[in-house]
């Protein structure tokens, strides 16, 4: 039987839940209130019948890297990912991985980079479906005139961009 392991990761930005299959990290939640429902839906859709088990040891390396990132000690992650989505979503997520920490792109710029100029809204939807925020840095995509949306909330997006040096802290 297939197994999905999960663990909570406490960072200076909040508690995240990370989950992985044998292929890599498949899920990361920024909102503990939604974790159980969302992780169950991911498993049902992609690994029906799999068991979900708490296993902090199996996820110790990714947890350490997430904590290091949240403390400003890491800008690149060295973890295997198990990304599942449409071809369009996967192309968006692959392009997100090319955006360095400390930089942002607009939804329109991302659409152009994947060869789909004019599909900024579809890019926004793909970002919203990103199952591993932080590791696939959808927070680095902003609207033409401001932050845009973010599943983890705009305040958290602002904190993440400030942490990475892409935004100056308010009042500074």
The tens place of each residue's pLDDT in the chain, 172 residues long, gives: 789 999 999 999 999 999 999 999 999 999 888 899 999 999 999 999 999 999 999 999 999 999 999 999 999 999 999 999 999 999 999 999 999 999 999 999 999 999 999 999 999 999 999 999 999 999 999 988 888 888 888 899 999 999 999 876 654 3
What single DSSP character describes residue 138? G
CA distances from 111 to 46, 78, 104, 107, 120 (A): 26, 26, 14, 6, 6
Q: What are phi and psi of 169, to 5 degrees?
A: -60, 145
Instruction: With respect to residue 78, please indicate whether it lies within any of the assigned structural domains.
Output: no
Residue 7: other Cβ atoms inside 10 A: 19
Task: Find how far residue 160's CA is from the centre of its chain.
Answer: 11
Taking the CB of residue 92, how many other CB atoms lie within 10 A of it? 29
| 62 within 8 A of 20, measured Cβ to Cβ | yes
Note the pLDDT of residue 168.
62
Q: How many domains does the chain have?
A: 2
Give the domain CATH number at 46: 3.30.160.70
Q: 20 and 50 share a domain? A: yes
The SS3 of residue 83 is coil
Q: In CATH, what number is assigned to the domain containing residue 128? A: 1.10.10.10
Is 138 marked active-site?
Answer: yes
Task: State residue 131's pLDDT score.
Answer: 96
Domain for residue 169, yes or no?
A: no
Q: Could you tell me the two tokens for 21? A: 């299959």
Domain membership of residue 81 (yes or no) is: no
Q: What pTM was estimated for this model as a whole?
A: 0.92
Using DSSP bridges, classify how beta strands 14-21 and 51-54 pair: parallel, antiparallel or unpaired: unpaired
- Which candidate in 83, 123, 138, 167 is catalytic? 138
pLDDT for 148: 86
DSSP structural state of residue 111: H
Could you tell me the residue range of the domain that residue 125 belongs to?
A: 87-163
Do 52 and 100 share a domain, yes or no?
no
Question: Residue 76, Cβ neighbours under 10 Å: how many?
Answer: 9
What's the pLDDT at 171?
A: 43
């Amino acid at each position: 039987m297939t197994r999905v392991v999960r663990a909570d990761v406490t960072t200076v930005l909040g508690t995240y839940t990370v989950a992985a299959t044998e292929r890599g990290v498949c899920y990361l939640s920024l909102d503990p209130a939604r974790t159980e429902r969302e992780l169950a839906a991911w498993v049902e859709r992609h690994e029906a019948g799999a068991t979900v088990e708490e296993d902090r040891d199996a996820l110790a390396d990714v947890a350490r890297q997430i904590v290091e990132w949240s403390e400003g000690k890491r800008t690149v992650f060295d973890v295997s990912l198990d990304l599942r989505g449409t071809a369009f979503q996967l192309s968006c997520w692959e392009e997100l991985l090319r955006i360095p920490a400390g930089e942002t792109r607009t939804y329109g710029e991302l659409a152009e980079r994947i060869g789909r100029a004019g599909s900024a809204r579809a890019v926004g939807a793909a970002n919203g479906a990103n199952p591993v925020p932080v590791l696939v840095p959808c927070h680095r995509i902003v609207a033409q005139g401001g932050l845009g949306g973010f599943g983890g909330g705009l305040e958290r997006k602002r904190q993440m961009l400030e942490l990475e040096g892409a935004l100056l802290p308010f009042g500074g």
